[in-house]
Amino acid sequence: MNGNFFAELKRRKVFKVGAAYLVVGWLAVQAASIGFPAFDAPPWALRIFILVALLGFPIAVVMAWVFDLTAEGVKLDAETSGSKRLFAAATFLIVLALGWYFYGQPSFRKAPLPGETPALAIPAKSIAVLPFESLSVDKSNAYFADGIQDEILTKLASIADLKVISRTSTEKYKSKPEDLKTVSQQLGVANVLEGSVQRAADKVRVNVQLIDARADSHLWAKSYDRDVKDIFAVESEISQEVADALQAKLSHNETNTLSTAPTSDADAYDFFLKGEFEEREAESSTKPEVFDQAVNWYRQAIARDPHFALAIARLANSRMQRHWFVERLSESDLEQVAASAEQALAFAPNLAEAHVARGIVDYFGHRAYEQALAEFRRALELQPNNVNALQYIGFVHRRQGRWKACLSELLKAQEQSPRDATLAANIARTYCHLRMWNEGERQGTLSLSLNPHTVDAMYAVLLSYLNGKGDLNGARQALETFPADAHMVQDTGHAMAEGLIGGRGYVSVMEKKFGAALELFEKGRSNLGEGARLSARATIHVLAGDAAAASSESEEARTFIEKRLKERPNDLDDLIQLSWINLALNRQNEAVVVAQKATEVLPLDKDALVGTYLLFNLAAIQAQTGHPAEAIDLLRRLLSIPAGQVATIARLKIDPVWNPIRTDPRFQALLAGPELIGPDK
């Protein structure tokens, strides 16, 4: 039957017609791809031409099947089979048309990649404020142009009727990008605001233009020549005119926000803008000296205007960022920062940034989650497009173990900040914790496409191989794609052996290449403190089975860390480091006690994220010190909750930290058991 069928296709020249159509169609598409741009045809015209050409192929093949080419011309087969073919062809074309229709429906289309917004989903009242170009002769005035752009963006962000993209997602674009349509799609906005600032002495010129990015057409443009002291009025006027041009509905409070100046002192404002410029650099580099410079500018601004609530709030924020990511503040310093945040609120109770600062003090300083959530939610009420407040709500919910809410909020924040590499990396690590490896790798890859040096994104991609698949070869290949100077060694945030050694080094450990692990660690340790450096070296020696080789270093590290713990007895980084130092010195009981204390300082019900790291570290220390039953019980618990960044069956099979208990029947049974995938709540 098949032979007869193909013979019939051949007789009717179906194959010849199909081949001829493909050749002619390909030539036509090639000619169109050259000719359409030459005549300035819009990009969609070529896409439609290609789609029509593709649709014509099945039609041509069907026609060749149904009709006979005879001496009298093209005729429908007079036999019964001809009418059957005509009916079948009609059915085929109807099915093809229905499939085409349903594919076009939103529910049938594949979800776009993060950061890509379908044109139909872009709201008309949406805007991105692109970086303002500094035209000042004095290049050191670049901070001034940045500051004006940021203040206009902040004012627009307070309008609930607008979708406003965060600065983090716009800052890497040029002031005047050539392809605004691509910018529109990448950011998910209909409009962009471009501008330039030229400052000379006490005069300033600001040029702005509002553009419909989808059509690449100007909606409005204006120039402002003012004294520097009148810059607040310029920012308010621009914000108001943009809102009017986009027909945004403003509440009474929103109108007041647009017209309100943060300070009446132009010099104080200038100091503040310099502080903001340094703060952005500090949060990107996490260099303590840059944080210190930002704080210095903020303090000069406040000295000029003691009631400058915005500067006071941002000062509090800067100190808390340094506390969380660089070096812990003392309790007295935390109280001082909290008092600053309260002072900002007293001066400006409706200032969103003041509520964010107060929330960060509660979150970073005291893990007072409910108080922090109340402040972040109030900030969102005052400034509906405040993506920082929305992110922090997601981060707090992650600490609380409210995983579904966390993901929902972070993904919503990504809609407002689609080009934020750090946010994408945070979402990636969250997916990894939930053992959702494909999603984690996807977000990690997106983050790296935006910023190849995003360490958390590298970890997410690495974890998708190590923890998701137990694939050391895949992990090694992934490492080769990362920048050569990305050693992934951090001083904080990874409370276990891998966190002390770093991602690159730990892959070498798992490959039993301990000398290479030491070498990689030494290359990437430039930003680490002395205790972290020595404890990491000791950990590598422990896992290599030659702790005695680093006994003198380990003793030095123990003295150093114990001295520091007297000043801050609950510091988690020091406790984790000391647990491995004690292990290297064969002080097994002390190692367990210290690791246990860390879990008590920050139990799982107080932090559902870091708490899993601390429990995992305790299990590792127990496994190394002859307590297999306790270690296996903890691992079983970790496998039953979101803890994919530390405990997965695939990872347990290849991680040398479990070698001392690997042959234990209870451990082997654990490897054959289940693990939770996805959020449990």
Q: What is the pLDDT of residues 126-165, one digit of tens each?
A: 999 999 999 988 888 889 999 999 999 999 999 999 999 9
Lowest mean pLDDT among 10-19, 263-272, 515-524: 10-19
Span 36-60, mean pLDDT?
A: 61
Span 282-309, mean pLDDT?
A: 95
Asked if pLDDT for residue 199 goes beyond 50, the answer is: yes
3-state secondary structure of 580: helix
pLDDT of 48 reads 66
Asked if pLDDT for residue 212 goes beyond 90, the answer is: yes
Asked if pLDDT for residue 563 goes beyond 70, the answer is: yes
Contact 651, 467 (CB under 8 A): yes
pLDDT of 313 reads 98
Q: Classify domain 487-671 at the CATH superfamily level.
A: Tetratricopeptide repeat domain (1.25.40.10)
Percent of the chain at pLDDT exceeding 70: 81
Give ∠ CA 566-569-573 in degrees, rounded to 5. Answer: 110
- Cα–Cα distance measured from residue 193 to residue 177, given in angstroms and rounded to the nearest whole number: 11
Q: Where in the chain is the domain with CATH 1.25.40.10?
A: 267-419, 487-671
- Class at the top of the CATH hierarchy for domain 119-261: alpha beta
Asked if pLDDT for residue 428 goes beyond 80, the answer is: yes
Q: How confident is the model at residue 107 (pLDDT cuts 50, 70, 90)?
A: very low
Half-sphere CA count of 485, side-chain side, radius 13 A: 4
Q: How confident is the model at residue 492 (pLDDT cuts 50, 70, 90)?
A: very low
Q: How confident is the model at residue 397 (pLDDT cuts 50, 70, 90)?
A: very high
Average pLDDT across the chain, whole number? 85
Asked if pLDDT for residue 84 goes beyond 90, the answer is: no
Q: What is the DSSP code string of 524-539?
A: T-TT--HHHHHHHHHH
Q: How confident is the model at residue 26 (pLDDT cuts 50, 70, 90)?
A: low
Span 248-254, mean pLDDT?
A: 94
Q: How confident is the model at residue 533 (pLDDT cuts 50, 70, 90)?
A: confident
Beta carbons within 8 Å of 7's beta carbon, 6+ residues apart? none
pLDDT of 151 reads 94
pTM over 0.85: no
pLDDT of 671 reads 96
Q: Where in the chain is the domain with CATH 3.40.50.10070?
A: 119-261
Asked if pLDDT for residue 32 goes beyond 70, the answer is: no
pLDDT of 67 reads 59
- Cα–Cα distance measured from residue 480 to residue 340, given in angstroms and rounded to the nearest whole number: 46
Other Cβ atoms closer than 10 A to 203: 12
pLDDT of 73 reads 53
Span 203-211, mean pLDDT?
A: 94
Span 182-197, mean pLDDT?
A: 93
pLDDT of 345 reads 98
Q: How confident is the model at residue 248 (pLDDT cuts 50, 70, 90)?
A: very high
Any idea which architecture 267-419 has in CATH? Alpha Horseshoe (1.25)
pLDDT of 49 reads 66
Contact 258, 240 (CB under 8 A): yes
Q: How confident is the model at residue 19 (pLDDT cuts 50, 70, 90)?
A: low
Contact 327, 367 (CB under 8 A): no
